[in-house]
Structure 1
Amino acid sequence: MRIDLHNHTTRCNHASGSTLEFASKACELGIDIYGFACHAPMKFDEEYRMRLSEIGEYINEVTSLRENIQAQKSVQNPKIQILVGLEVDFILGREDLLEPSVLSASLDYLIGSVHFLDDWGFDNPAFLAEYAKKDLESCWVKYFQSVAKMAQSRLFQIVGHIDLLKVFGYAMPHSSECAYALECALKSIKEANMSIELNAAGLRKQIGEIYPSKEILQKAYALGIPITFGSDAHALNQVGFGYDKCVELAREVGYDKCVYYKQKQAIEVDF
């Protein structure tokens, strides 16, 4: 079964293509379970996310698309399942920014992602110069501490791109401090019954590799942490991007099953 749970809509203000166009492309590619997880509203960095007032419209739009597909009105393959989720930013120390209406919304899943260390948007090219001013080891330790705290909140089902900090090529240092922070994050994910996604977007970035690295994925596998898949598509030509490479990596590590979610309940399937 082919799954892709991380896809955006124009409501985040940095994506293109309609939900119907995305779903139609997913059908063409033979994707069985396709999920939208647009950037959730938050009173922080608001230009790159939907407005709080749009949540209901967003859910209704995807739900209507799902109903139309099931009625065989919109696409050629009505067997595809369309899911609705949100990608939510988790900023360590700023948990007050989490919107209660986002967390309680009628969704299939929430992806928890760390894009910020304090107010530094480390995956934004506009702030690339900040890396030269930072201690890389400290950044990675804080990043994994953020992931651990996010998992401990028990608010999310999926960890988004778990080693995103490598996006511009600043890979995790091989130090005992980083290794310990990663270990704590993975244990917290396991204890929270969360999954991690194999996110293909890294193949489109300077780092040129999947999130997570094989090393991290091996550690996740050893702990019995489930996986899912996401192309992190912001445009039609990114739908299903890198899926075969993600599957290849997962199988190399030992995985042969993945999960998706309905009403925040995990469903395990073969891939």
Structure 2
Amino acid sequence: MSTAQYVSVHGGHSGQFCHHATDTLEEIITSYIKHGFAWVGITEHVPGRTEELLYPDQKAAGLTPEFLLERFGRYMGECKRLQEKYAGQLQIFAAMEIETYSGYDTFIPSLIEKYQPDYLVGSVHFVDDLGFDYSKEQYDETADAVGGYDKMYCRYFDIQHEMLERLRPAVVGHFDLIRIFDADYKSRLLKPEINERVERNLEVIKKHDLIMDLNLRSLLKGAEEPYITGSILQKARDMGISVVPGDDSHGLGNIHVNMDRAIAILQDLGFTTNWPKPTLYSYE
């Protein structure tokens, strides 16, 4: 059994504040305590800015950008309340998972100024304002719209690069999420035009001393490995980039699942398990 501390650098989505999650935020936090976590980042999604940027399930439920923004404000208030309530039992970071849709370069800084999160998780869920991770059908539609899988990968990593340089999020969320519905991702990531973008983005992560999230969400859905895939994880190790487990939990049933496996993966590759803690970068 590993002696490494249990932590999650990207987790804590709850049904209280996320449409595709379950359970209350306090239930989520007390579960982390029960499982012996040393610290956890609660990293709720920022709201969609416009109707067009909402997920299909959000639209179907009649949610609006105005409601999502109001709910996000309640999330930050509740997370900070629980942060204080459980301070003696668990170090909680009240963080947020950002997006890269049109206008994020001003919208995200406005949220930071208003809510003062402890740190940012920099994620990409949209390619040119088109979602790709909701379903295989959506994934293929977005690929077709931008010129195929290879071009979608290239756009994804270009958008990620811009976001990393612009906002320098303390944590890079599921670095290679773009592979989510691609059965041939291992070979595709090695194509020169894609691999050069991967390596460029890793250089930015190293330059700014950002943390990469070893994201366990894919394992819950039956994938053979987490985000980050093995070939990229080895590059990160060789570059001395910090990688920390993130359960990306969306309910009580996700917490702690596959955490020992994640720690073993990192230990076997020679990563430190003296986990660095994220901090908010002041980019102004």
Q: State the TM-score, normalized to the length of structure 2.
A: 0.82
Q: Is 1:26 aligned with 2:37?
A: no
Amino acid at match of 1:2: Y
Q: Structure 1 residues 106, 131: CA separation in 2 closer, same or farther (over 3 Å shift)?
A: closer
Aligned length: 257
Deviations along 1:138-176, one digit per CA (max 9) or x if unpaired, are: 121211112211111134111100010111234151211
* C-alpha contact 1:168 1:207 (8 A) present in aligned 2: no
RMSD: 2.3
Specify which structure has the bigger relative contact order, considering alpha-carbon pairs within 8 angstroms and separated by 6 or more residues: 2
Between the aligned partners of 1:111 and 1:103, the Cα distance in structure 2 is 12
Greater shift in the superposed pair: 246-255 or 164-173: 164-173
1:74 is matched with which residue? none
SS in 2 for 1:251: helix
Among candidates 171, 176, 179, match of residue 163 of structure 1: 176
Deviations along 1:59-81, one digit per CA (max 9) or x if unpaired, are: 221121122223xxxxxxx4311
* C-alpha contact 2:17 2:72 (8 A) present in aligned 1: no
Q: What percent identity do the matched residue pairs reach? A: 27
2:213 is matched with which residue? 197
Amino acid at match of 2:36: G
1:58 is matched with which residue? 75
* C-alpha contact 1:156 1:194 (8 A) present in aligned 2: yes
Among candidates 42, 51, 60, match of residue 36 of structure 1: 42
Q: Is 1:86 aligned with 2:102?
A: no
SS in 2 for 1:15: coil
* C-alpha contact 2:7 2:39 (8 A) present in aligned 1: yes
SS in 1 for 2:86: helix
* C-alpha contact 2:131 2:142 (8 A) present in aligned 1: no
Q: Structure 1 residues 206, 137: CA separation in 2 closer, same or farther (over 3 Å shift)?
A: farther
What displacement does 1:244 show? 1.2
Q: State the TM-score, normalized to the length of structure 1.
A: 0.86
1:145 is matched with which residue? 158
Between the aligned partners of 2:181 and 2:222, the Cα distance in structure 1 is 5
* C-alpha contact 1:157 1:264 (8 A) present in aligned 2: yes
Between the aligned partners of 1:165 and 1:110, the Cα distance in structure 2 is 20
Q: Structure 2: which 5+ runs fail to align?
A: 59-64
Between the aligned partners of 2:240 and 2:112, the Cα distance in structure 1 is 26
Amino acid at match of 1:60: G
2:107 is matched with which residue? 98
Between the aligned partners of 1:193 and 1:132, the Cα distance in structure 2 is 32
What displacement does 1:264 show? 5.4
What displacement does 1:245 show? 1.4
Q: Structure 1: which 5+ runs fail to align?
A: 71-77, 266-271
What displacement does 1:95 show? 3.9
Between the aligned partners of 1:5 and 1:204, the Cα distance in structure 2 is 17
What displacement does 1:5 show? 2.6
Between the aligned partners of 2:143 and 2:167, the Cα distance in structure 1 is 34
Between the aligned partners of 1:188 and 1:262, the Cα distance in structure 2 is 17
Deviations along 1:29-84, one digit per CA (max 9) or x if unpaired, are: 111102211101231424558722334422221121122223xxxxxxx4311111
Between the aligned partners of 1:137 and 1:46, the Cα distance in structure 2 is 25
1:269 is matched with which residue? none
SS in 1 for 2:167: coil
What displacement does 1:246 show? 1.2
